Chain A
């Protein structure tokens, strides 16, 4: 009963604050959309300056997707390169191709080198006739899987986590700073009821947010989705729950909204690094194990299993259990932290 009125109040408050509501619901969609625009774009066409190279090679470069421009001298090409009009310049000296790369962007350099290899090496050592071209099969994913498909699931997790963490944390903090929390402790409201009210009250918005993010990613942005939508929803929701409980817990250790923001570099950013957006394989093993205390790591793992590998409940239940357990621990700790306001 008391929990119900607390939930009702939270929902009412949230609807009065349209801007925060929009931030929580729309901001993740906006950012996902922007990231999709950046990474889902067509494959890059490198700009190559050709200095005196055979016509057939130029044709082949163009066929491979390069934009080729002819230069009369090496100096002119290098000049264009330094002005960043080109990604690479190719010339021949004594029959040996020389490639000069602009080089400041490794992914562009890689694209150029790959392309140059295909074009320049093939005629020199054609495939021996007895060797068949390899048959390529993908266990998961496909040849035309974009990098957005690869880290999209992680991004869903990151944004679901980030906004819920911040908004729920600040809302709970506000209850402290305005003195209403202390006032509530002069009513028979129990500490666990307080925490439960927040979890359910914000949980409602978290649920809406999770549904929207999941639908938007798959339905609108066309992110690779090989598993069941229901599992995607379940993982997102549980991850948001962890963010919600962690945010409200950590708000106990902040005295102002500004201090709450200071948790972003401490709590959110490391999780993003360990969540699989970047490969951590080169990291010292003990450092790598840090990811085991990070909710986002489990969320991202489950999301990838569902979306890319199309796996079902059997593959994700350990992750889900960890997330659920973390949420429960955070809630219990929060109930304990409220002892600061009332011992019983």
Chain B
């Protein structure tokens, strides 16, 4: 194997000329981007710009209308690959009648964790998101932020190589948000590739690289400082407006 093929066997995420249409409405237009291994890649964009749609394509939950998506060199969607991906949806998908522990145990079993390993991993991730004392409570009694944290814990359960987080820190207080970001950095240093979406600028600053997305188009990619520099602006917010053509 050589050329194009070998390059796709690299770890990380590759999106090549991807379009996504819902019926006649084109939601993603010719997106090409790459998330390198160990990166924390942030997708920044206004509401409705197509972040969730793109992230779902990468997580293998939908198929692009055109183009290709590769995760760790494997063409998505691919069932086996799903074991290596941790996904946190934008809206919490939890079973409200069940307790947090039961939710965790269920999702753990789906990704193949059993017995002592499962128990240990559940302990670790709940410690991380500060939910260890609330495990016996049904989700129906959880606050919005607690549900967010549990969703994150579920995404982390099986130590996925690729972590895809759709607005992970919405509704989470600054203290906990900081500890979650510390953990994300730890994970990325220990080899996890992280792709997350956000529209919080100060969070975007913390990413290794950023992709700015608007109306389904990727308008700029680069490290936060690079983006600011080449746009000649002080803040990411300004840079975003410049790339979007709103401001010169």
Contacts and interface: CB of A to CB of B under 8 A. Distances in A.
Interface of A: 1-2, 4-6, 8-9, 12-13, 16-17, 178-180, 182-190, 341-344
Interface string B20-59: 0000000000000000000000000000000000000001
Interface string B72-87: 0000011110110101
A19 B235 CA distance: 55
Interface centre among B61, B94, B96, B105 (most CB of A within 10 A): B61
Contact of A182 (B61, B79, B114): B61
Contacts of A180: 93-95
B89 A186 contact: yes
B93 A12 contact: no
Interface of B: 59-63, 77-80, 82-83, 85, 87, 89, 91-98, 102, 105-107, 109-112, 114, 138
Contact of B110 (A12, A16, A178, A187): A187
A185 B61 contact: yes
Nearest to A186: B87
Contacts of B59: 186
A16 B141 CA distance: 14
Main secondary structure on chain B at its contact with chain A? loop
22 contacts: A2-B110, A8-B106, A9-B102, A13-B95, A16-B98, A180-B95, A182-B93, A183-B87, A183-B93, A184-B110, A186-B61, A186-B87, A186-B89, A187-B82, A187-B107, A187-B110, A188-B82, A188-B111, A343-B62, A343-B63, A343-B77, A344-B79
B68 to A, nearest CB: 14
Interface centre among B77, B82, B91 (most CB of A within 10 A): B82
B77 A183 contact: no
Contacts of A341: 61
A184 B110 CA distance: 9
A191 to B, nearest CB: 10
A15 B79 CA distance: 32
Contact of A2 (B62, B87, B109): B109
Contacts of B85: 186
Interface centre among B62, B96, B105, B106 (most CB of A within 10 A): B106
A184 B154 CA distance: 12
